[in-house]
Amino acid sequence: MKKSLCIAICFAVVLTACAVGFSAFAGTDSLSVVSAPNKLYYLDVSDTVDVTGTKLKVKIDGAEQVVELTRNIERAGSVADADVTTATETTTVAETTTAETTTQAGESTTAAETTTATETTTAVETTTEPATTVTVRESDIKVYYNQPLVAGENEVVFKYADKTASCKIYVDADPVQKIKVTKAPDKTEYFFYYDDGKPIDCSGLEVTVTYKDFGDGAQEFVYKYDEVESLDFMGHRFNIRLAYNHQEGKNPVIVTYLGKEANFDIYYKKIYPGDVNNDGAVNAKDLVRLQRIVLGEKLSYNPITTDLNEDGKINTKDITELRKALTIADKSGEFEWVFDAKLLSYMVSADGYFYTADDPWQRNFGFNEVYDYATPYTFMYYDTFRVFFDYGEYEEGELDGVPAGTPKQWMIQPWKGQYGMVLYGAELGVYTKPDTRTTPHYDCANDDDRLPMAMTVYKDKKLSFSMPDKNAQPDKKYWWITGFKPGALDNYTDMSKPHSQLMIEFKIDFPSNEMANKFAAGLEERGFTKTGFIDTVNFRKVDVYTINGNRVEFLWRDVVGTPGQTNVPNSVPVAN
């Protein structure tokens, strides 16, 4: 037994010694450059070489590994110095390997004393592993190049143990032959007002750079936009800029790299905050649509222009922002509903209330009671009534197809209430039609039939605003006088009773006392009472009127056309 054990121990010692000897002579098989440094081209011979990004393949005892240089390594000497193999470099690797192997052998011998020969053999096999698992570190790599550099081609040598590999770098004050945008950025569409002042998004941009032939052919590299190093390539900086201040349509973007230029196009579109329906204007249509969307209706909208506070949600906060946007003054003397107020012909006064222009496009459509029935669906909740009377005749050519002398029927209609969720106010319109027209559709009064009118709006018995001015005198002619102010009435959606928070004082100058009397009679038929004067201090009497010559004034609070449905007026004309 002892004899067998001794034989086994001797056998193990012999194998271990062989393994130690093999490890001591194991070395680096090869070293090669897998990929060159990030920076290959230099503009000046005095530049310092940066080898960051180089990938080296090291083969040790048949096992390969790749080492990437993530930092620049200080120059160890000239290219000639790289050919001198120092004893320190070689010995260090051998001594380290031997020490590791010897330790393992010692452990195996100890194990052999208390176990079988088979176990000892296993221990011997383990001793060979360190020779094939040497990890090469960046600090083990040496870098050599001549300094100063020379114009044209320069060699950079990398050394590990006793093996070297090299790559070329180039020096030229103008190394680039040409550049070309081979892929435009992912985003090429921009919007006025939204993207003003914001940098161009270059994500997805690809630029192909062709460098000069320095003896081994012209080299092409592709620059791909990277958010971390967005404008750096080959150690040099790209410059990307608009060719000129952005304008509607196509805008060239210039890419400059080491003196060469290329370009791609982006496009600017006119789009405005608050343009909910994406029709190119910001106006009452957008207010109505936004309100309906917030209340849950499934309507299409432009999310870019609708999310006015940019919080990712469409809600009442956006309505508030739109209201603010609609009261921005323009650079002319008069405030105007922003961007394209002319679409709906609304203006904004210096006092901050909205009103219609003198000749809006709505004038082409006239008016009938169907319009009033539809208003709750557009989030307008108002009180109204109508006064009908006959007065005067049509002149020759005044209205197509209507003979001269045809009796003229008049309708004067006021409104007051909530207009959407952001405006309250009042209106007064003048309409006419020939008595030969059997349908109850009225035309908007022509210029000759316009009447001098004025109105003052009171909310909760306090002056809110006057139209056309603070004196509220009927010194200007209108066919439709309007005024709206940002704000909301209490319980304005309740159509079972009048919106009594609002009281409106209207003043109208008629062309004759006869016409004034006919209109006053119509007010009485609607429920108004004649009074000696209108009290706008204590409001002791409401729904009253006065007549003084050709002028009629009335203070309106509670009169409505049809009880229980305040926005639907009387539709049967008053008998003449």
pLDDT at 43: 93
- Categorize the per-residue pLDDT at 257 as very low, low, confident or very high, splitting at 50, 70 and 90: very high
CA distance 369 to 218: 80
Q: Three-class SS of residue 117?
A: helix
Residues 72-97, mean pLDDT to the nearest whole number? 60
Q: Residue 562: pLDDT above 70?
A: no
CA distance 338 to 450: 28
| Residue at 264: amino acid letter | F
Between strands 206-211 and 176-183, the pairing is antiparallel
Q: How many CB atoms lie within 10 A of CB 576?
A: 11
Tokens of 89: 């470099």
C-beta of residue 550 within 8 angstroms of C-beta of residue 512: yes
CA distance 246 to 252: 9
Strands ordered across the beta sheet of 249-257 = 189-191, 260-269, 249-257, 236-242, 232-233
pLDDT at 500: 94
Q: Residue 214: pLDDT above 60?
A: yes
Strands (E), 275-339: 335-336
Q: Residue 62: pLDDT above 60?
A: yes
Domains of the chain: 2-170 (no CATH), 176-269 (2.60.40.3630), 349-556 (no CATH)
C-beta of residue 503 within 8 angstroms of C-beta of residue 541: no
pLDDT at 470: 67
| Distance in Å from the first CA to the final CA of the chain | 142
Between these two residues, 210 and 300, which has the higher pLDDT value?
A: 210
pLDDT above 90 covers a percentage of the chain that reads 47
Q: Three-class SS of residue 417?
A: strand
Residues in Cβ contact with 197 at an 8 Å cutoff, skipping those fewer than 6 apart: none
CA distance 263 to 100: 60
Residues 362-387, mean pLDDT to the nearest whole number? 70
- Give the distance from CA 271 to its chain's centroid: 11
Residues in Cβ contact with 193 at an 8 Å cutoff, skipping those fewer than 6 apart: 271, 272, 273
Helical segments of 217-315, H only: 284-294, 303-306
pLDDT at 183: 95
Between these two residues, 548 and 563, which has the higher pLDDT value?
A: 548
Mean pLDDT of the chain: 79
Tokens of 399: 């209205």
Between these two residues, 227 and 117, which has the higher pLDDT value?
A: 227
C-beta of residue 533 within 8 angstroms of C-beta of residue 554: no
Cα 198 to Cα 192, 193, 410, distances in angstroms: 11, 10, 57
Hey, CA dihedral for 181, 185, 186, 187, is it positive or negative? negative
| Residue at 172: amino acid letter | D
pLDDT at 76: 93
DSSP state of 101: H
Q: For the segment 301-359, what is each residue's pLDDT rounded down to a tens digit?
A: 888 888 888 888 998 888 878 766 664 444 443 333 333 333 345 566 666 677 776 76
Residues 366-383, mean pLDDT to the nearest whole number? 68
Residues 541-570, mean pLDDT to the nearest whole number? 82
DSSP state of 46: T
Q: Three-class SS of residue 312?
A: coil
Question: Which run of H or of E encompasses 369?
Answer: helix 369-374
Most confident listed range (126-135, 430-439, 567-576): 430-439
pLDDT at 350: 62
My answer on whether omega of the bond before 199 falls inside 30° of 0, hence cis, is no
CA distance 530 to 248: 60
Task: Please report the DSSP string for 487-508 in residue order.
Answer: ---TTTT-TTS--TTEEEEEEE
- Categorize the per-residue pLDDT at 177 as very low, low, confident or very high, splitting at 50, 70 and 90: very high
Burial of 384 from C-beta contacts in 10 A (0-12 / 13-18 / 19+): buried
C-beta of residue 458 within 8 angstroms of C-beta of residue 465: no
C-beta of residue 290 within 8 angstroms of C-beta of residue 421: no
C-beta of residue 352 within 8 angstroms of C-beta of residue 327: yes
Decide: pTM greater than 0.85. no
